[in-house]
Amino acid sequence: MAGTPPDDVVDRDATTDPDATTNPTDPTDIDNATDIADIDGPEGSDGLGDPDDVMGFDGAADPHEDCVVGYDPHFEDDLAAADAAVPEVRALTGPPRRFARPLRRRFRVSARYGIRGNWLAGHHTGIDLAVPRGTPVYAVGSGVVVLARWSGAYGKAVTVRMPDGHYALYAHLNRISVRQGARIRTGTRIGSSGSTGRATGPHLHLEIRSRRGYGSDISPVGYLARRGVRLT
């Protein structure tokens, strides 16, 4: 690609993962820039795709697909420092309050938000969407990428600060397709699903926080439903 890529497009050679050498199973962290997708693509002008492509929760979660991520003080410290370093940005041009689903293929909810367990918060802080390793993951809303790197227990993860002050955290990725500080649109491809970090099988852990810090999580299903997107 000739010239300098715009803010919301990442060149493969522009970003490196400082922890890649400690994760020999997948040292390549950044996808090619052509993997970046805009919501106004072939899947429909509303960015929601076909509702029939989504599978709801179908019973007890499969323990082999659960994520066991919990409070990680090193990640929280890194996130706080990165958040302070990334300035506020205006939302990119386009219809206001546009949101979309993070996956465009069939998935199964392997762990619901809020289920009780041995987490510091006392419950599961996100929702786990079981999909094969390498499934494209897209931004549910526009915003600025606060952190895009190896994130401890969350594995390879991307955290996006959205214009409404909420944070979307996409965890256990196999690959990352955006860089810190990039402004992204709703529907931008941010990476591919995987099982990095504290995970026992390939899935996307989607976490929505009302503030930056751990414990401010809210239901991703409710958050997206209030914005016109059915997740389950």
Yes or no: say if 37 and 174 are a contact pair by the CB < 8 Å rule: no
Residues 182-224 have pLDDT tens digits of 999 999 999 999 999 988 889 999 999 999 999 899 999 999 9
**DSSP secondary structure code for residue 199 in this structure:** B
pLDDT of residue 129: 95
Give the list of residues 6+ apart from residue 85 with CB closer than 8 angstroms, or none. Answer: none
Residues 51-71 have pLDDT tens digits of 223 333 233 334 434 566 678
> Residue 218 pairs with which residues in a beta bridge?
208
Distance CA 76, CA 217 (A): 13
pLDDT of residue 72: 82
Distance CA 113, CA 127 (A): 5
CB neighbours of residue 132 within 10 Å: 12
Nearest to 129 by CA among 176, 68, 63, 193: 193
pLDDT of residue 57: 29
Buried/exposed code over 98-130 (b: 16+ C-beta within 10 A; e: otherwise): bbbbbbbeebbbbbbbbeeeeeeeeebbbbbbb
